[in-house]
Amino acid sequence: MNIDLNLQHLPLLPHKRDFRIGAIGAGFIMRDIHLVAYKNAGFNVVAITAKDEEQARATAELRGIPKVHNTVEELLADDQIEVLDIAVPPLAQRAIILAALQHKHIRAIQAQKPLAMNYREAQEIVVACERAGVPLAVNQNMRYDHSIRALKTVLRRGYLGEPMLATIDMRAIPHWQPWQKDYGKITLAFMSIHHLDSFRYLFGDPEYVYASTHQDPRMDFPHRDGIVLYILEYANGMRATAWDDTWTGPSREGAASDIYIKWRVEGTAGMAEGSIGWPHYPARVPSTIRFTTQQEPGYWFSPTWPQVWFPDAFEGTMGELLCSLEEGRESVLNGRDNLNTLALVEACYRSLEQHRPVRPAEIKEENA
């Protein structure tokens, strides 16, 4: 057969694993995802701090972190730290990053997505880091889901030919955090951003996006973007679309549950489809892929692996930043590129408000 089933689903990791990492935040995503992944990868987390000092100390004890700082300022001043890993709500990130830029020993920063709640503020953060010469990476971790990386390889090798249509069908309830209620934005900003960024990673930047929403009846706070549908229009005619259904019907109110995330890509020479295992967390359910191609007519190929998105993909996001430091290059997750993802998210919100297709370029042009 002419088909190579090594689809490079695993990320490259740095040879140097002892970069000294300081962690800011001790909530679920840091405690149970980042720090678990880093330990598995052999990364060197030397200190942690959080708004809740007791939570920081409990996390340090649980994950074997040797030093706990009482405040963010104290951690930033620790000249043993080379790399910052920030996992705080987006409205808190800007002040932390700007403060970090005042400390010459900090060589690189990984921030959470969304980097900010609007394009303008995110751009200010990116420009400040560029002026200070401190690499900024954004933790767009769905790019490191193993089925998405495998799909990228399938596309790059031409097994599918020219992509015509890509879809994501999500029927899953995210791990909503209490602080997200205060933002007035919910699914597009905190869930769809994964899918929008993955479409960019796989196919590039779209020309237009059109979004439509319905409130999620389970959410007990004001919001507009609960259940979200959107279509990305590419200049070459390709279309990508997602149904981000965070309600999934009354599956927590007595009805039976049918939870999943599926994706599919159709091309001129083949087709691929798969599933995302994340909705089953904390059970370890790997994501999947299967594909067919004219290069081997009549066959479906279904490679498998044991790794899962949560937490294993997070080895890839931090690993990519450390690789970029080791190799003296820009990270593929750099803040400047991530502005294109935020422009796409903001274009979705504008599409909701104005009931029209919106060019993400509009957002960037207005902030040029």
pLDDT digits (tens, 9 = 90+) for 159-213: 999 999 999 999 999 988 888 888 889 999 999 999 999 999 999 999 999 999 9
- Structure tokens that stand for 358 in this block: 């919106």
Strand partners, 270: 293
Distances (CA, A) of 141 to 29, 56, 223, 248, 278: 12, 23, 25, 23, 12
Nearest to 272 by CA among 1, 5, 2: 5
In this prediction the pTM is 0.97
Q: 55-80 pLDDT, tens per residue?
A: 999 999 999 999 999 999 999 999 99
pLDDT band at 1 (very low <50, low <70, confident <90, very high): low
Pull the structure tokens for residue 313.
């993909």
Q: Is the pLDDT of residue 307 over 70?
A: yes
Q: What is the DSSP string of 109-140?
A: EEE-SSSSSSHHHHHHHHHHHHHHT--EEE--
Cα 167 → chain centroid: 18
Q: Which residue has the tokens 């899918």?
A: 195
Residue ranges of alpha helices (H) inside the chain are 28, 35-41, 53-63, 72-76, 90-100, 119-132, 146-156, 187, 193-203, 314-327, 335-354, 360-366
pLDDT of residue 2: 84
Domains annotated for the chain, with CATH where assigned, are: 20-141+318-330 (3.40.50.720), 145-310+341-354 (3.30.360.10)
Q: Quickly count: other Cβ atoms within 10 Å of residue 299's Cβ.
A: 12
CA-based nearest residue to 141, from 110, 108, 120: 110
> Of 209, 184, 150, 201, which Cα lies nearest the Cα of 338?
201
Digit-coded pLDDT (tens) for 249-278 = 999 999 999 999 999 999 999 999 999 999
| Helix 193-203 with 146-156: angle, nearest 10 deg | 20
User: Could you read off the pLDDT of 271-283 as tens digits, one per residue?
Assistant: 999 999 999 999 9
* pLDDT at 349 > cutoff 90: yes
